Structure formats: structure tokens, C-alpha cells
A and B are shown apart, each in its own frame.
Chain A
Amino acid sequence: MTLNTLRKKLSQLPLNQKVNLPASCQKLSENFLHAQTLIRCFYCALFFLSVPQMREWGRYLNHQDYDFLWPVYWLNWFPQDIGIQLILYLSLFGTLIGALTPSLKSARVLAFLGVFLFQALHNSFGKISHSFHLWHIIAAFLIFLPAGWHCITNQTRKTKLLTLQTIWFATAFLLMTYSMSGLGKIACGIGQLVMGDISLFHPMSMSIHVATRLMETNTQSEFGSWIVEIGVFSWPLVLSATYLQFTSLICAFRPQLMKLWGLGLIIFHLSVWFTFKIPFFPTCLIVALLLFASPLANGHYTWKQILLSLPGLGLCKFIFRAKNEKNKI
């Protein structure tokens, strides 16, 4: 099966239909205008998220024993104070320049470098946290926006296509990370099941996860104790979260699902906060930007269209039909 066939299958399009765009992106000019606004919002948000980090600058400057990650490993051979100050100022002014002139590729590179190096420094304390990963990786994708993407008039079809293509791949990347997370849960769940351990497929799995995390950090959360107490009744929550995550990438091919999945993923992150006390706040913002305000999900879809395109439904139909045919024979 070629990638093209796979794309059409995931997009639920007939195999003989020609698709030359990020799936179902028909109203090119209108979608392009949305993309322009989205990109500007992305860089403003990136700057907005960099500003509160200034409160922590003292901590980075006063700290002595880092376990530097590779992007900032050079700080081991460079005057540390100066190097760290360079990174901190680059993160602030790089994102500011990015927000001011996202039309310039050099400004987008600066914004990316600022966030990337800052995150590398921030994660040089022995453990890597992942709440900001999506921002700098998507900033890396947006470096490759075509020249002239920002112009209001005289846009060529090529520029519009390339701009939407970049946005589509950034969105696909975001959704792929969730699918990887879902895949991890399923694969490790099967592994543990085979080993005879308690796994995702055990009705108490959610309660055990929450109890372990809250004891590990000695914290309390709004719904944590309740989730532990209800035991088996919390199982559907972890199963739905796994379905939502695992099938996320499919939504990149079905724009009608993007807003629904965006909502689901944000509710998922909020639930994680209310039960585990793990903050993924910057991730909520990027999910909202790329899925709620996606130029690719610009159409009007009925509930029927949305429900019929739910991932897994086609597979269920296929199995049901195959069984029916088998029975007929």
C-alpha cells in the first residue's frame, strides 16, 4: 500500500479521487487567511509563554550543578553565567522578534532557537519535562513556511498550498505524539498482560496509577482520592483516554473530527491536572490553537458526519459485514 492510498483510506475518500491538498481543504483562499492568522497567534502565544519564565531567571543563574542536555552542553566549556544569560535573553527577545515579524524566516529561526535552548536549559536538572516540547518542535516546523506567506494580496496558489501544507504537518505532528502515547499504553498493557502483571486491561489500573502518583509526590488533588476509592468504575476513563490518544493521528486526515478531538484532548489534560496534579497547560493552548482554530477544519459539519467518521467505526462496520457475509454462506 502506498502512502497515497493510506492517506485516502484514512481520509475516508474513494481511492480513485484525486487529492492534492491536506485532506478536504477545498476553500483554499479562505483557509489560507485563517492559516495566516493562526501563525501570527502562534508566535504571539510563544512570546506570551516566554515572559513569565523571567521570574525563574534567578534560579538558572544561581544554580551550580547542572546535568546539561546536548543542546546546551557547550556551557560546560563556556563561562556559565554569560552562556545562561545569553540563552535567557534569546528566549525572551527571540520570541518577541518572532511575534513582531513572523514573516521573516530569520525571526522564526530566532524564536525557535530561543525556546529550544531555554527548554534544554530548563530540563538540565536531571529529569526532562514534556509540557513544552510541542511548542518548540512546532516552531521548528513553522520555520519552513514559504516566502511571502504573510502577504494579504497577490498570493500565488503555490504559496497558499505550501502554507497550508506546513500547518497540516505541524498538526499531524501534534496528533502523532498523542497517538504515540496511546500506542505506548496499549503495547505496554499487552506486555504486562502477557507477563501476568496488572495492566491497562485490569479494571483497577486507573486507581493504581493515581494512587501511585499521589503517594510518590505526596500531593492531593481534587478528584484523585475519589478516583482511587471508586476503583473499577474509573476503568472506562483510562480506556476512553487511550482510545482518544491512540486514534488522534487519524484526525489529521478527517478535519471534521479536529475540533471534537481538540476538546477531548483538552478535557484529558484538565482531568490529568485534577487527578494527578500534572500540569500540561502550555500543551492545552497549542491544542486549542491547532485544532480549534485550524484552517483545515474550517467547514461546517453535521453531527452525523462527525459521528460517522469516528476512528474505529469503519473497522467495526467491516467486521460486522464480514460476519454477515460469512453467515449467509
Chain B
Amino acid sequence: MRHYRFRRKVFTIVLIAYFLGGILFLATPKKEIFPIFSWFLFALTPNPDAEFNIRIIEYEGKAITPARLYNEAGDQVKSANSIKVPVLADAMGKAIEKHDLQAFERARKVFENTFLIHPSTYELVEITYDPMKRWHTGELEITPIEKLTTSIDSP
């Protein structure tokens, strides 16, 4: 029974450490350190706010008029329904705010090579909207941040 009690203590500590780690790692840039995660999924109710996104301007040399947000660009991008794109756009936007060129280039490379068809010209934009208003009327405000073209060395 000594062994049983010892294991019980160790496992309990592991559970508590995971719980605390998950909460503490919310303070890290990615809000988690794989595989320790807070499991705070959909914890914040979206409020009218600004967020970063991607707008496609040109695709294989042809201009898209009017320019479209990534998730509305259909087959002009690789994965229009991906939730990873807003996350990468957010990483790029925050890197610009912090003047962190390295983090910006890292997120940009992953985005371009995973989610864009080459060559493409696109914009990092900030969109502001009220979720329910946008749902019913499509109303949203778009502010361009940075115009970008897929890197020459990209496939």
C-alpha cells in the first residue's frame, strides 16, 4: 500500500501541475506550451472589437476586384475555411505592433507557404465589426496595415 499511496501523491501532483501550468502559460505568446494548455476554449464572448485579418489583392498576376478577405476568397487561396489564418494574421499584426521582425517573418513564411497559392499579393488588415450587425448586414470596417507579396523564394 506504500507504493499505492506514493503513486497517488505523484499522480495528484501531476494533475495539479498540469492545471497550474495551463493557467500560467496563458501568459506566453501562444497562450500555451504544447501539450500543456488551459483549455480555455471559447472563454471570451466576442465583443465589437478590432482584429487582424488577411485580404487578397492579386492572385497569379490577376487583380481581384474588389479585394476579398482570405476566408471569402474561395478557390483563389488554399484553405479559405481555415481557422489558422486569422491566428497567423494575428501573430503577424502583433509582431508589427511590437516591431518584432523575426516573429513577423516566421508567421509570414508559414502563412504564405501553407495557405497561399503563389504568386499572390495580399494585405494585412485590421477589421472592426459588431458580430451580430456583421451577421445581419455584412457591415465591417477594414483598415489596411501592410501590403505584401509572396516571397520570390517561395514554391
Binding site secondary structure of chain B: helix
Closest to A136 in B: B35
A242 CB to closest chain B CB (Å) equals 10
Taking CB atoms, residues of chain B closer than 8 Å to A208 are: 45-46, 131-132
Other-chain residue from B1, B46, B71 in contact with A217 (beta carbon distance below 8 A): B71
Do A216 and B40 touch (CB < 8 A)? no
Do B35 and A116 touch (CB < 8 A)? yes
Do B72 and A218 touch (CB < 8 A)? yes
The answer for the CA separation of A141 and B12 in the assembled complex, in Å, is 12
Closest to B108 in A: A65
A187 CB to closest chain B CB (Å) equals 7
Does chain A have a CB within 8 A of B155? yes
Taking CB atoms, residues of chain B closer than 8 Å to A136 are: 35
The answer for the CA separation of A144 and B8 in the assembled complex, in Å, is 12
Do B45 and A218 touch (CB < 8 A)? no
Do B45 and A200 touch (CB < 8 A)? yes
Do A177 and B39 touch (CB < 8 A)? yes
The answer for the CA separation of A266 and B80 in the assembled complex, in Å, is 28
Q: What per-residue 1/0 map shows which CB atoms of A31-63 lie under 8 Å from chain B? A: 000000000000000000000000000000001
Chain B contact residues (Cβ within 8 angstroms of A): what range?
A: 35 or more
Other-chain residue from B7, B12, B30, B155 in contact with A64 (beta carbon distance below 8 A): B155
The answer for the CA separation of A166 and B109 in the assembled complex, in Å, is 43
Given contacts A65-B109, A65-B110, A181-B40, contact A211 B132 (CB under 8 A): yes
The answer for the CA separation of A161 and B5 in the assembled complex, in Å, is 11
Q: What per-residue 1/0 map shows which CB atoms of A203-232 lie under 8 Å from chain B? A: 011011101100111110000000010000
The answer for the CA separation of A70 and B32 in the assembled complex, in Å, is 12
Other-chain residue from B4, B87, B112 in contact with A127 (beta carbon distance below 8 A): B87
Closest to A124 in B: B110
The 4 closest A-B pairs by CB, nearest first: A184-B40, A184-B43, A218-B71, A188-B43
